[in-house]
Amino acid sequence: MIKLKGKLIGEYNYNYKYRKTKVTHRIKEFYNEKNGIRFVELKKETKKGNNFVRLPKSIWITKNGYPPLATDGAAKIARGKKLSLFFAGLPTVQSKEHIRIFDDVLRNELRKIGMDYDQLSKSLKERPVAKEIGITGFIYQKTGVIDNKISDKFLPMVLKAYSRVLESKPMKCPVNLWAQRIIGKQAIVEFHLFKDEGFDVPLSAQRAFFTMMMDEREPVLESK
């Protein structure tokens, strides 16, 4: 399997308190110079009183010529309700071959633990993101439960599927469009989600977090 995590090159400790909400971010960035893979790993907690949204381990992996891998594992208590969820996907994927490989591996891996990948991926595949942004992957949810190890259950199989994608023929993807969308529109969506659940998270702070997680590390020179 392709080595995804290279040398640790960056650590971002981003913490703040706004009104009665405390937010902590622990971001580690790894880079493999041999294969050009950037691996960003996140631990995050948003807490207000007894309520919290905890991301024990989320990742963002990029390599030129391939779709990025984005995952989110979350456990939360908000307004008296408990929820744990896991998301993994290839945003901006363009190649039918990349989609087939990723889906086939996860379909087989999830079947081994009694889960139906096609059912778990249905809502994601049917929900349009934007005309120029395709996506494949799955979402799993457990209501009434706090599972801080939910990412540990799925990440090995997701990383296996992504490694297989990276072994196939490259095809450029508009990764920048996804990053722009997350830092822009999705930050606004997250602001309202946090507000509806009783948390105080400034839009600027949410955008700053997304920027640190997935924005370009160096300016892209435009050709004249």
* pLDDT tens digits for range 134-176: 899 999 999 999 999 999 999 999 999 999 999 999 998 889 8
Query: Over the stretch 173-184, which tens digit does the pLDDT of each residue have?
Result: 889 889 999 999
Q: Give this prediction's pTM.
A: 0.93
As for how many domains the chain has, the answer is 1
Strand 137-143, strand 21-32: pairing: unpaired
In a domain, 161, yes or no: yes
Average pLDDT over every residue of 187-192: 96
In a domain, 222, yes or no: no
Structural domain of residue 162, as residue ranges? 7-214
Distance (Å, whole) CA 186 – CA 210: 9
* Average pLDDT value over all residues in the chain: 93
Query: Over the stretch 13-38, which tens digit does the pLDDT of each residue have?
Result: 999 999 999 999 999 999 999 999 99
Angle between the N-to-C axes of helices 117-126 and 96-112, in degrees from 0 to 180, rounded to the nearest 10? 140
In a domain, 221, yes or no: no
In a domain, 2, yes or no: no
In a domain, 1, yes or no: no
pLDDT at 125: 83
